[in-house]
Each structure stands twice: as C-alpha cells, then as structure tokens.
Amino acid sequence: MADPPSTAPKKKKKSKAQPAATVRAPGGDAGLLTAWRTWALAGLVLVGGVVAWKLVGSSYKGDVETICNGEKASGFTIAKDMSKVTQYVRSHLATPEGNELFSTLSDAKLVDRAKRLDTEAANLKIGSCPMVAAYQQVAAEGDYRSDVQRLCSTVTFPKLAEQDDDTRLARIEEWLDKSAKSPRTKELADPLRQGTPADRAKLLRDTGVKIDVFSCDLAKVIEGPVVQRSKGFAQVRPYAEPQINGVLAVDVLAKGLVDVTPAMNECYRKALDGKPDLEGKLAVKLKIDTTGKVTGALPADANILDKDVTTCILSALRTMKLPANDGPMVTALVPLQLTLSASPGGAPAPGSSASGAPSASSAPSAKPGAPGKPAPSARPAPSSNP
C-alpha cells in the first residue's frame, strides 16, 4: 500500500513542468527589447558625445584656419571658382564670429581682404594662411587688367593721333610711369621703347588678348599715320524728319532739339579730342510724357557710333523741355548726324527744308500753316548722303 503514494507526486512534477516552459518564452522577448533599448541608449550617448565634442572643439581660431585653407580643402581656387570656395568655407564655419569675419571679407576689396585676414591669422598665431596670398594674387591680376584696359583706350591719350611717333611714345611712357598701378604694366615700358610702331601695336594687342582684353584702340593709333585735325566745327543735327508717334508737331520737337544742340555739340567736340576722325549717324528713340518731359532716350540701333559720345548726347536729350501734350505717351525716332562743318551754322541737313525739322544748329522754321509759309511735307526730301 506504500507504493502508490510514491508515484503520484512524480506525475504532479511532470504536469507542472509544461507551464514552466511556456512562462519563459515571454521572458525571452523582454530580454530582446531590453537589448534594443541598451543599444539605442548607447547610440544616443555616442551621437551626443560627437555633438558635444564638435561644440567644445569649435572655435574662432578654427574658423579662421578654415578660411585660410579654403582653396586647398574645397579643391577650387578663388581666381576661377570664387563662388565654390565661398560656398565651401561658409558651410564649414562653426561660430558666429567666424561667419561675421567671412562676411566682412566678402564685402571688402580683394586687397583689403588679404590685409584683414593676414592680421587675424597673425593675432591668432596661425602659422600659414594660403588664402592671404590668393587674395593678393587676384587683386594684382585685377590691377593689371584695369591698367591694360586703360592703356588700350584712346580716351587715356587725347589727340595722340595728331602727334608724331616720338611724342606718342613719350606720352605712353609717362603714363606707365605715373599712372599704372601694377608692376607688370610698368614692365611694358622697356619693350615698347625698343620696338617699332608696328612692334608696339602688336605687343599691346598680344598683352590684351592674354587677359581677355580683345580690343586695343591705342594699337591702331600708334601704328597709324599722323592725323591732321580738321578745322571744321563739330555739329550734331537731324539729317531727316523725325518719326513721331503721338500728339506732337514736328516743328515743336525741332525747337526742342535746337535748345539742346549746344550741349550735344559739346559732347561731340570732346569726343573729337580722342578720335579726330569721328563722324557718323546716330538714331535715337525718345519717350515723352504728357508734361513734355523726356522720360527716355535710347539708341535705336545696335551699331553705336561711339559709346562715350552716345551716352553724352542721350543725357543732353533727356534735358529737353517740350510743351504738354494730350498723351498718353509720345515716342519719336530722331535721326542725328555727327559731322564737321566749315562754319558754325553749317549747311542745312539733308531733307530739313522739306521736313520742317531744321538743322539743330540753326533757328527753327516757321510753324506749319503760318501765313505765307508752306506747311511741312509728310516725307523728307531725298538725301544725297547715304
């Protein structure tokens, strides 16, 4: 009778073993979740440490070093890709002070950038700052380009075409000595002195082409003959009837042109100092508001006779005062001729007698419809000049 009780407890142990195995399964998921939490916490600690390290490691000196090494680090040069170097440096600055310095540098002239950055690097005891030399080189290139552009312009040497070769050379040498900013420009004096006029012209053209200055008017002058200045009078005048769109009589516009003629003639006279043989035609489009004010004056074609004289004449035309009109807006195409006359009044402009638009240097004709005077024709008389 003692054996049965001894086997019963063994069966109970086996039956309890199954629930115990099933209870541990959820415990495994909890362990996995705990592991993930541990890794996430470790990641946050790592990221936080990196951020903290960068914040602690950020300094104004580090930013100045970033600027100093901007070309090498970015792989670009400020001479060819300044915007890319600027973008790289700006994206790698870490302090407000560094950003402020770089903004100040960007707003300054290149030569001033070099001085300011060199001073900052010296104050912070930064041993090498390549960007200083880069700024200085680009600034020097700018001075050289500006010098060559001025040297090639006949405006720099008024009336040079009227002088002999020795005088031309002496004036060029004087300018190189006193006015040139770049040492490289001053170095041109010796080869210019040694060559013939043709050699000098070639040297100037070749020098300009190397720095993308493709037009050198001075070269044409120094290799050309001495030009005898005409003794004629500089005159700007209409050579045909203006084309008017709006409520404005031709003779009224002609009177306005006469009023501003002295100013236009002065523009032309000054231009002749640099280009004694300057003559030609200039068509101008005017815009006139209801008060009679000229609100716009622009060349009507792309073939500008001469940039400086054109700008000056347009400025003179904008000062013209005309009577009020019914509007809304009057436009006029005024064909002007720049010519040298034997007398201050000069011959009448082609077509002016028939058009009612007098020579800009003479008095206006009578108003159309006046007693004893014929009304102006709607078309200009044929011009003998092209």
Query: pLDDT digit string (tens) for 187-203?
Result: 999 999 998 999 999 99
Comparison of pLDDT for 35 and 308, the residue scoring more: 308
pLDDT digits (tens, 9 = 90+) for 234-263: 899 998 899 999 989 999 999 999 999 999
Q: What is the pLDDT of residue 29?
A: 58
The ranges assigned to domains in the chain are 60-145, 153-222, 233-355
Residues 217/206, Cβ–Cβ less than 8 Å? no
- With both helix axes pointing from N to C terminus, report the angle between 130-152 and 110-123 in degrees, rounded to the nearest 10: 160
Q: What is the pLDDT of residue 228?
A: 74
Q: What is the pLDDT of residue 44?
A: 58
pLDDT of residue 7 exceeding 60, the answer is: no
Q: Which residues pair with 332 in a beta bridge?
A: 244, 286
pTM of the model: 0.49
Q: What is the pLDDT of residue 15?
A: 47
Secondary structure of the chain as H, E, C letters: CCHHHHHHHHHHHHHHHHHHHHHHHHHHHHHHHHHHHHHHHHHHHHHHHHHHHHHHHCCHHHHHHHHHCHHHHHCCCHHHHHHHHHHHHHHCCCCHHHHHHHHHHHHCCHHHHHHHHHHHHHHCCCCCCHHHHHHHHHHHHHHHHHHHHHHHCHHHCCCHHHCCHHHHHHHHHHHHHHCCCCHHHHCCHHHHHHCCHHHHHHHHHHHHHHCCCCCCHHHHHHCCCCCCCCCCEEEEEECCCCEEECCCCHHHHHHHHHHHHHHHHHHHHHHHHHCCCCCEEEEEEEEECCCCEEEEEEECCCCCCCHHHHHHHHHHHHCCECCCCCCCCEEEEEEEEEEEECCCCCCCCCCHHHHCCCCCCCCCCCCCCCCCCCCCCCCCCCCCCC
**Confidence label for 385 from pLDDT (cuts 50, 70 and 90):** very low
Q: Once rounded to an integer, what is the mean pLDDT over residues 105-127? A: 93
Q: What is the pLDDT of residue 369?
A: 35
pLDDT digits (tens, 9 = 90+) for 287-321: 999 999 999 999 987 666 788 899 999 999 999 99
Q: What is the pLDDT of residue 42?
A: 57
Comparison of pLDDT for 307 and 343, the residue scoring more: 307
Please tell me the distance from the alpha carbon of residue 168 to that of residue 164, in angstroms, as a whole number: 6
Residues 265/236, Cβ–Cβ less than 8 Å? yes
CATH tag for 233-355 (out of 3.40.50, 3.30.1150, 1.10.10, 1.20.120): 3.30.1150
Q: Once rounded to an integer, what is the mean pLDDT over residues 38-60? A: 55
When the pLDDT of each residue in the chain is averaged and rounded to a whole number, the result is: 79
pLDDT digits (tens, 9 = 90+) for 162-178: 899 999 999 999 999 99
Q: What is the pLDDT of residue 381?
A: 38
pLDDT digits (tens, 9 = 90+) for 137-148: 999 999 999 999
